[in-house]
Amino acid sequence: MINGEKNIQKPIRWAMVGGGRGSQIGYIHRSAALRDHNFQLAAGAFDINPERGKGFGIHLHVEPDRCYPDYKKLFEEEAKREDGIQAVSIATPNGTHYEICKAALHADLHVVCEKPLCFTTEEAKELETLGKKKNRVVGVTYGYAGHQAIEQARQMIANGDLGDIRIVNMQFAHGFHSEAVEAENASTKWRVDPKIVGPSYVLGDLGTHPLYLSEVMLPDMKIEKLMCTRQSFVKSRAPLEDNAYTIMEYDNGAVGTVWSSAVNAGSMHGQKIRVIGSKASIEWWDEQPNQLRYEIQGKPVQILERGMDYLYPEALADDRISGGHPEGLFEAWSNLYTRFAIAMDAADHGGESNHFWYPGIEAGVKGVRWVENCVRSADNGAVWVDYQ
């Protein structure tokens, strides 16, 4: 159970690039990092607009002289201070992640980077090599993975509760962009601009989330082949897709699908994963994250509730309040930020951090690789491609 006691000797001096006032994802980074006293917000380059960024930083209790106009100044000036930052979170639009992450690693900082890590597997591998060389942690915020039910699913599968795994059905299909809302909304506008978002929209923005959940639940299964078809139902978004279907074949004979969509009209979030085994299935839906459906063939459905003592101990280890009281995305992210902090501290002090998983650089590489393979398949006429 997590109860706010310290996990590391001293909070990590931490900064943010991006995540400024009005951004979608900045606040959950700060809430998650600061929740368990693992990090201390010491500096930042919070906004593409330096004035706005400084004003915002001051409102976050950051010293005015540590609110910098851009990430280069942030890394340069902080390196000169004895109490300079040790870690940085990057919460900017996709096209900037690669260069900021690379610069942060060169500045010997630990990194938490938004997904997608970058646009090509080559770039992702370069960041992975650099991170390892520098002995720096790179966490990637596949935040849903921090829900207790995901750990429960991982343990159930590892313990054979489902039997042999045959089918994995995934989707992240919301309806918020069923029309061209980008005309009025800055946060959506860059998401459909290939210069800023890279080779895909919903595959990278949405599909990689349930895909990572499947990697947590099924760490030993490898994709061997896939086929993808993608569409731009709002025509102005072409060549970027606002809907895509991917079918995959795994090395153990299992098959999987991912439906990625921003035009599933009426759907709030629609992120689900259903893992089907030879004996039973489990299903998780991010709109009801405290519950995990467990369906044994021939028996009534069981709804496993978060925080109950029938769960595996590995799942209960992430509990913050007993069952019945809802936990949500903020707690899931906090669980991951706690793991990032322990891993960062271990890297700095030679401790152990390999007894738990977290979405690290290899998760970032896998996400980029999956999108690349999907786009290659789709753009060659929705053909099966060997996974590269």
Interface residue list for ligand NAD (CB under 6 A): 17-20, 23-25, 45, 47-48, 70-71, 91-94, 96, 114-115, 141, 143, 187, 205
Quickly list H helices, the chain: 26-35, 50-59, 71-79, 97-106, 121-134, 148-158, 186-189, 194-197, 202, 208-217, 313-316, 329-349, 361-379
At closest approach, how far in Å is the CB of 221 from ligand NAD? 23
Closest CA to 379 of 258, 210, 238, 261: 238
At closest approach, how far in Å is the CB of 177 from ligand NAD? 13
Spell out the residues 6+ positions from residue 298 whose beta carbon is closer than 8 angstroms to its own: none
DSSP assignment letter at 262: S
The one-letter code for the residue type at 320 is: R
Q: Are the beta carbons of 275 and 217 closer than 8 angstroms?
A: yes
Residue closer to ligand NAD by CB (options 307, 367) is 367
Q: Are the beta carbons of 41 and 35 closer than 8 angstroms?
A: no
At closest approach, how far in Å is the CB of 22 from ligand NAD? 7
Q: Are the beta carbons of 196 and 114 closer than 8 angstroms?
A: no
The Cα 110–Cα 305 span in angstroms is 35
Cis peptide before 359 (omega within 30 of 0): no
At closest approach, how far in Å is the CB of 94 from ligand NAD? 5
Residue closer to ligand NAD by CB (options 77, 249) is 77
Residue closer to ligand NAD by CB (options 91, 234) is 91
At closest approach, how far in Å is the CB of 212 from ligand NAD? 10
Residue closer to ligand NAD by CB (options 35, 115) is 115
At closest approach, how far in Å is the CB of 92 from ligand NAD? 4
Residue closer to ligand NAD by CB (options 304, 339) is 339
Residue closer to ligand NAD by CB (options 154, 174) is 174
At closest approach, how far in Å is the CB of 170 from ligand NAD? 15
At closest approach, how far in Å is the CB of 23 from ligand NAD? 3
The Cα 68–Cα 18 span in angstroms is 11
Angle at 281 between CA 141 and CA 155, to 5 degrees: 50
* Pair of tokens at residue 168: 């994995």
At closest approach, how far in Å is the CB of 115 from ligand NAD? 6
Residue closer to ligand NAD by CB (options 141, 243) is 141
Quickly list H helices, 159-271: 186-189, 194-197, 202, 208-217
Where does residue 189 rank: exposed (0-12), middle (13-18), buried (19+ CB within 10 A)? middle
Residue closer to ligand NAD by CB (options 24, 129) is 24
Residue closer to ligand NAD by CB (options 196, 346) is 196
In the bound complex, which residue of the shown chain has the CB atom lying closest to ligand NAD?
A: 20
Residue closer to ligand NAD by CB (options 15, 162) is 15
The Cα 25–Cα 143 span in angstroms is 11
At closest approach, how far in Å is the CB of 307 from ligand NAD? 23
Closest CA to 361 of 31, 26, 85, 104: 104
Q: For residue 164, which phi and psi values (nearest 5 degrees)?
A: -75, 135
